[in-house]
Amino acid sequence: LTLTEVGEGCELAAKYDVASACVRPADVGLAAGILGGSSVAVGTVVGFPHGSHATATKVFEAEQALADGATELDMVINIGWLRSGEDERVREDIEAVVRAAGGAALVKLILENAYLNDAEKLRGCRIVESAGADFVKTSTGFAPGGATMEDLRLMRAAVSPRVRVKAAGGVRTLDALLEVMSVGVARVGATQTAVILDDFRSRTAA
Assess contact for 6 and 27: CB atoms under 8 A: yes
Spatial distance between the Cα atoms of 86 and 32, rounded to a whole number of angstroms: 36
Query: What is the rounded distance in angstroms from the CA atom of residue 169 to the CA atom of residue 188?
Result: 9
Half-sphere exposure of 180 (CA within 13 A, CB side): 28
> Cis bond leading into 25, ω under 30°?
no
d(CA 71, CA 66): 7
Active-site residue set: 74, 137, 166
CA nearest to 104, candidates 43, 33, 38: 43
Quick one: how far is CA 71 from the chain centroid?
Answer: 12
Give first-to-last CA distance, the chain, whole Å: 37
Q: How far apart are CA 110 and CA 128, in angstroms?
A: 9
